[in-house]
Chains A and B, each alone.
Chain A
Amino acid sequence: MTQPKRLSQEDERTLVRRLKARQEGALAELYDVLAPWVFGLASRILRDDAEAEEVLGDVFVQVWGRIHQHEPGRGPLVPWVLSIARNRALDTLRRRRRWWRKADRWGAAQRLEDDGAVPAPDPAEAAVPGWPVHQEVHAALAALPADQRRVVLLAYFEGLTHSEIARRTGQPLGTVKTRLRIAHGKLAEALKHVKDWLR
C-alpha cells in the first residue's frame, strides 16, 4: 500500500461529498488515511488485536452507512469517525467486562497504565497523515498534571462515568468532576488551533 496523501480541510470536505455520493473509491481513501488511527484507538481501548480488527470493520461499515448523518457544520470528519470507533470499542469493552473474559490480560495492561502515563509516540509511524496532530495532542496531555491526565484517560479510554472514576481513584466525586472540567479546558485551549486533522 502506498503512503496515503495528507488531507487539508478542503480535501476532507471533498472526501465527504464523494462519500455521500456513494463513491467507493472515497471510502478506500478514507480507510487509507484513518485505518491506522481507528485501529490504534481500538487497540488502545481493547488490548486485543482480534477485537480491534472487528471494531475497525464495524467503524467503516457505519461510516459508509451513515455518512449522510455527518454534518460538516458540526465538526470535521476525523473526530466523527474516531468517536464512532471509540463508542464501538467501549461497547465491546463493556460486553467483555460483563463476560469477564480475558480479564487477567486486560487487568494487567490496565494496571500498567493506571498511573495515567501516556505511551510515547512511535517514530516509526511518523509518516502517517495526522501525525502532527497526534504529537500536539500528546504534548497537550503531557502538559496536564498527572491527576488531571489520569481522569481524562479513564473517562475517554475506559468509558468510565464520573462516579466510577471516583471509585477507581479513591477521590471524591466533586474532585473528579473539577479535574475533568479543568483538564478539558486546558486541552481545548492548547488544541483550539487544530484544523487540518490529517495534515
Chain B
Amino acid sequence: MTDWLGMTPNPRAPRPELRAQVLARAVRPRAGRRRWVWRAAAAVLLLAALGGAGYWARGTILALSAERDRLAAELAAVRDTLGFVRGPATRIAWVPVTTNGRLGGVTIFADSAARRWLVRCEGMAPNEPNETYQIWFVTAEGLKRAAVMTMDEEQATVMAMAFDVPDDVGPVTGAAMSIEPRAGGSTEPRGPIVFHLRL
C-alpha cells in the first residue's frame, strides 16, 4: 500500500496564472480529442493512400513484367529466326503447293551445321478435322518423321515452326510433306504427298 507516499513531498504552489490555463484545458478536452481524431484519420488516409499506391504499383509491376517476358520471348524468336537466315550453313528453299485448290507456299530454312529447321507455310488449306500436315526429312534411308503441322479453320494462314533434326537421322537431302491422320501423324507417309523437294 503506497497511497500515502504521494503526500510525502512538500506541497508546492504552482504559478497562479497556471490555474486558469489548467482548468480551461481540462474542461475543453474535446479539442485534444478532436486533434487526436484528425491525426488518426490522417494516419488512416495516409495508410490507405500508401496501400492504394502499393496495390497500383504491384499491378503495374506485374503487368510490366508480363510485357517484358512477352517481349523477351518475341526477341528470342526473332533472334532464332535471324540465326537461321544468317547462318553460314543455312540453305533456304521455297516450294509452291496447292492444297484443296488453294495455292500457297512452303519456305524451309535448313541449318545443316546446327541441325535445326525452320518451316513456314503460307496460304495452305485448312486440314480436315481428322487430318494434319506432316513434314518429312528426305534421307538416303528414306523419309523420316520431322514434324506435324496442323492447320485449323480458325488458324491464321501463315504457320511457322522450328524443330531439330534428331541425331539418329542421317544426312538430310530434302524435305517432303504429306497429309496424315491427326492423332500423332504417321511413322511413314501413307496419305497424299503435298510436295517433295531436294535441298
Partner of B7, one of A27, A43, A130, A152: A130
Pairwise interchain contact B9-A24, C-beta atoms closer than 8 A:
no
Whether A133 contacts B9 by the Cβ 8 Å rule is no
Q: How far, in whole Å, are A152 and B18 apart by their CA atoms in the complex?
A: 31
Q: Are A36 and B11 in contact (CB under 8 A)?
A: yes
Q: Is the CB of B4 within 8 A of A40?
A: no
Determine whether the beta carbon of B27 is less than 8 Å from that of A24.
yes
**Chain B interface mostly:** helix
CB distance from A69 to the nearest CB of B (A): 14
Q: Which of B3-19 contact A (CB under 8 A)?
A: 3-16, 18-19
Question: In angstroms, how far is the closest chain B Cβ from the Cβ of A84?
Answer: 10
Interface size class of A (residues with CB under 8 A): 35 or more
Q: A140-B4, A156-B2, A187-B4 are in contact. Are A27 and B27 (CB under 8 A)?
A: yes
B8 engages A134 (CB within 8 Å):
yes
Top 9 A-B residue pairs of the complex, sorted by shortest distance between their CB atoms: A82-B6, A36-B11, A44-B9, A79-B3, A40-B9, A64-B26, A40-B12, A60-B26, A122-B10
11 of the cross-chain contacts (CB-CB < 8 Å) are: A27-B27, A41-B6, A44-B9, A53-B14, A60-B22, A60-B25, A61-B25, A65-B26, A122-B11, A184-B2, A191-B4
Interface residues of A (CB under 8 A from B): 1, 24, 27-28, 31-32, 35-37, 39-41, 43-44, 53, 56-57, 60-61, 63-65, 75, 78-79, 82-83, 85-86, 118-119, 121-122, 125, 128, 130-131, 133-134, 136-138, 140-141, 152, 155-157, 184, 187-188, 191, 194, 197
